[in-house]
Amino acid sequence: MSNRRSPVPTGRWPRPRPLSAQPNLLLLHLLTVALNGLSCCAHACGRPAGRGGLGTGGRLRTVPQDQPCPLLHRQPIAEVQAARPRRSTAIQEIQAKREHVTSGARLVRTWLAVTVGALLGVTPSASRDLSGSRPNILLLMADDFGIGDIGCYGNDTIRTPNIDRLARDGVMLTQHLAAASVCTPSRAAFLTGRYPLRSGMVSSNGYRVLQWTGVSGGLPTNETTFAKILKDRGYATGLIGKWHLGLNCESSNDHCHHPLNHGFDHFYGMPFSMMGDCIRWELSEKRAGMEWKLNVCFQIMAVAALTLTAGKLTHLTSGSWTPVIWSTIAAILLFTTSYFLGALIVHADCFLMRNHTITEQPMHFPRTTSLILKEVSSFIQRNKQTPFLLFVSFLHVHTPLITTEKFRGKSVHGLYGDNTEEMDWMLGKILDTLDTEGLTNSTLVYFTSDHGGSLESRLRNNQYGGSNGIYKGGKGMGGWEGGIRVPGIFRWPGVLPVGRVIHEPTSLMDVFPTVVQLGGGEVPQDRVIDGRDMLPLLLGTAQHSDHEFLLHYCENFLHAVRWHQRDGGRLWKVHYTTPVFHPHGAGACYGRGVCPCFGDQVAHHDPPLLFDLSRDPSEAHALTPDTEPAFYRVMDTISRAVEEHRRTLRPVPVQLDALGNIWKPWLQPCCGPFPLCWCDRENGQA
């Protein structure tokens, strides 16, 4: 595959002249230091606060006006920590304080920009064209990670110093949105820049993600990923971690949906997904439900076999013994399947692959974290002389929260907090590798999550899912913010501004056109691309996001739409359908894996629910025609946008419905003769 890479010029990153030899740049450097220092001060004096996270209008930790900023007037650490509030005050008071802080920062920025412009003869709008600049691209994605569990987004009880450092050194997005609230469709949208409905990576019958490794559904081969485009532009492309977008179509080794068939040169990780069933945990995704159904069927067949046998022995029934024999065989098969189901799932879904070869089946979890880090380091070292795209798709923090002994019991939030802090440590080790190899300044780093935290991952009094902060709902809820609002952090030293916070709507789909154009590729013109290039927004050369409308699907059902009304500064959101929480008054669908998208457990709203997220980020107060004069105008504008969107849709095969999402033995990857699927090539055993 390396023969497809174009040669890389030796001067891709030219050595700069010393600042002392460039008087203008020296002056610019000094002024930039001052600007960043004051900007960081303003950012720190208005940091997001509390475990609740950062809202649309911002939930900020502020310093009273009569106290100096800690970054300029350093206090002893103990005093700063003692003075730090644990929870934020009312949203109105917070917003007022934030406006005071940010307006001051804006004045400082404007003054320095004008000064720099006057001294160096440049205008504030001047910027360089970075398209085709071909940086290394490192994409980091957590699994089921709640936005309320990160320090830079407001959490002050779970330690995430490396994620926080990434935000401090780069750009943080506060309205970053997943295209779906569950794994498979969200990741498909991320890789293709398209709503999952367009690629068929949705369902209509409740099977919202791929259910097994051995299914025929998956990311269609005619879809174009950013990896495929950048590979054609000479990038080394790698995916390490979770895939969950399918594997085979017609045989156990055709690999039609494999990452290597979607533009990645190298793959190491789980073709499927981490699950509680991988360790036969009490919180089960499918094993417990299937065992219950099998046991019920076994009992029915066993009763039938005993009844028929008794009838024959007492001469109450006549005829042959054939029904007795077949019902007995069926009962035995059902009992055997139920008994061995847990082991079947562990071997069928919980294994590691390197490219097309299974290396560990089933996985040996105590060493998985070290194997992932070793693979990341190896990939970076192998490809440091050529531009690379590396997508690190963490197995953290999906249940069952596999955590090494080093981090178990270390956080104040139980196993979930331990797992989060271990993931943050892993991220820090990856950033250290960039530093060691001298690649930090030539690498664009991005961190996010595939969707919000899982509220239903609860067992008795223990919460094993994440917090979505002040946002309503969570994983699996098609429209509520908690399921789709995710962290978004970019860092590119020397290119992206430091400490910048953007309160504009952006999407995981936007990564596609952004990295494609940075890598010198072209965004496909033969299909609809829903993502928008974020680079002008990240650089500060654009004030607003290119997204006016964003649509929020649950399976193939449209649940909600948001409208960014730029001229009025309002962010409207309409809900057509919402899940019915259980029990009544709860904030989730407890007792289920996730909330449903259709049926009698959802509520259809006529008229739709309307919220102003710019004033009510928690979606706590629905607006009515009596309370909002613009109610009907907003509804009409959004309705027309939905109709325009629907005209762009084309029928495609649905990948996640029953036919493509049931286990097929002939598609099951196995490192031995099926069903003897056991190997450990990581230790040289097979």
Catalytic residue among 244, 257, 451, 559: 244
Residue with tokens 């409208």: 563
Q: Are 59 and 96 in contact (CB under 8 A)?
A: no
Instruction: Give CA–CA dist 599/578, Å, rounded.
Output: 11
355 exposure class (CB count in 10 Å sphere: 0-12, 13-18, 19+): middle
Instruction: Give CA–CA dist 567/309, Å, rounded.
Output: 79
Q: Are 249 and 256 in contact (CB under 8 A)?
A: yes
For residue 397, say if its preceding peptide bond is cis, omega within 30 degrees of 0. Answer: yes
Residue with tokens 């997904």: 273
CA atoms within 13 A on the CB side of 52: 20
Please give the single-letter amino acid code of residue 576.
Answer: Y
Please give the single-letter amino acid code of residue 608.
Answer: P
Helix (H, G, I), strand (E, B) or coil at 48: strand
Annotation says 244 is catalytic: yes
What is the rounded end-to-end Cα distance, in angstroms, of the chain?
A: 27
CA atoms within 13 A on the CB side of 97: 24
Q: What angle do CA 58, 107, 77 make, to 5 degrees?
A: 60
* Residue 254 CA from chain centroid, whole number: 28
Closest CA to 54 of 174, 178, 176, 177: 174
* DSSP H or E segment with residue 305: helix 287-313
Specify whether the backbone of 138 is left (phi greater than 0), alpha (psi in -120 to 50) or beta: beta
Question: What are residue 188's phi and psi, to 5 degrees?
Answer: -65, -45
Catalytic residue among 41, 152, 183, 350: 183
Q: Are 569 and 576 in contact (CB under 8 A)?
A: no
Q: Who's near 467: CB < 8 A, 6+ residues apart?
A: 51, 52, 53, 146, 148, 149, 155, 453
Q: Which two tokens stand for residue 74?
A: 């350093």
Active site residues per annotation:
183, 244
